[in-house]
Structure 1
Amino acid sequence: MILGFKKPFKPKLMDGSKLHSMREDKPGRWKVGMKIQMATGVRTKAYECFRDDLVVTRLQHVEIRYYGKVPGEVLAPVIIVDSKRLDDASVLELARNDGFKTMGEFMEWFDEDFEGKIIHWTDFKY
């Protein structure tokens, strides 16, 4: 199944520093063992499939919650993976493993509450 990415993530996917991707999956489409086709420009003329040699090795439920967030205020999120709240070090590790250099970048991308799945293609687990 196609897993679309913005172009800045491509080098991190190619060098192996991005270990997973977090996505909404309300219909439950993603399953362990599915082949992953990583691409940029999905549904455009610029479509490029740059990796198709990986499979889903694990799925983990993830929640990102900004409790008490006030507009303009920087508030670190609470992140829960498979019903376990991550400590600060694990939150930073999750951000980096998802392709972000800093927590600030991660929080800009995930700037509101989120619930979905971590799609893994390595043996890593939180």
Structure 2
Amino acid sequence: MKLAFGTSFHNQPNYFIEKIWRGLLAGSDDFITNYQNYQRRYLEKFGVCWDGEDFGEFMEPKLHTIRKDLDNEWSAGKTIQLVINLNATDEFQFAPQITCTSVQRIHIDYSGLIKENGPAVFIDYELLDQETLAKLAINDGFPTIADFFLYFNEEFAGNLVHWTPIRY
């Protein structure tokens, strides 16, 4: 199944391709050759290369993604194709196929009934504390909790799609 990613947010690059690759490369040596091949194909298609290696140690990996998934299509064992520009002439699969390792339910509550000073986030119906929320935001590719809530800026219910062993 295809998982589409944008490459920018509010006209600024989000570096999701680089962050996803950083996580893949940390997980297995098998991805090193693939990384170079996909980078070369990206260069051939778009005339530029992504910048992952230029960020050094401060760029945290993107280890999962959050999706609406109204039909609950995602489940452990599904094949994931990581793409940008979904259904466009320049659609590009930027990494080898990987496997969904698990799915967790996520709910972001903006009612103010749970937390008066901001939204509450639940994973599998359990309220996240601030430390776990910070880990979730970073592992989903956002530099801060504030950036996470800038993107998820309204009531949200969906699935957290994992391709690593991380769980909350």
Fold equivalence (TM over 0.5): yes
Q: CA deviation at 1:44?
A: 1.2
CA contact (8 A) 1:4 1:42 kept: yes
- TM-score under structure 1 normalisation? 0.90
- After the TM superposition, list the runs of 4 or more consecutive aligned residues in structure 1 that deviate by more than 3 angstroms: none
1:87-102 paired onto structure 2 within 5 Å: 87-102=129-144
Count of residues in correspondence between the two structures? 121
Query: In structure 2, what is the equivalent of residue 56 of structure 1?
Result: 100
Report the TM-score when normalising by structure 2: 0.69
CA contact (8 A) 1:36 1:56 kept: yes
RMSD value, Cα: 1.4
Is the aligned partner of 1:111 residue 2:118?
Answer: no
Distance in 1, Cα, partners of 2:5 & 2:127: 27
In structure 1, C-alpha distance between the alignment counterparts of 2:145 and 2:63, rounded to whole Å = 16
Partner of 1:27: 71
Q: Distance in 1 between matches of 2:167 and 2:6?
A: 24
More strand by share: 1
CA distance in 1, matches of 2:89, 2:147: 28
Deviation at 1:46, TM superposition (A): 1.9
More helix by share: 2
Amino acid at match of 1:95: A
**Where does structure 2 lack aligned partners over 5 or more consecutive residues?**
8-13, 24-60
Identical residues among aligned pairs (%): 34
Structure 1: unaligned runs, 5 residues or longer: 69-74
Alpha-carbon shift at residue 83 of structure 1 (Å): 1.3
Tell me the CA shift for residue 58 of structure 1. Answer: 0.6
Specify the alignment match of 1:67 in structure 2.
111
- What residue is the counterpart of 1:6 in the other structure? 6
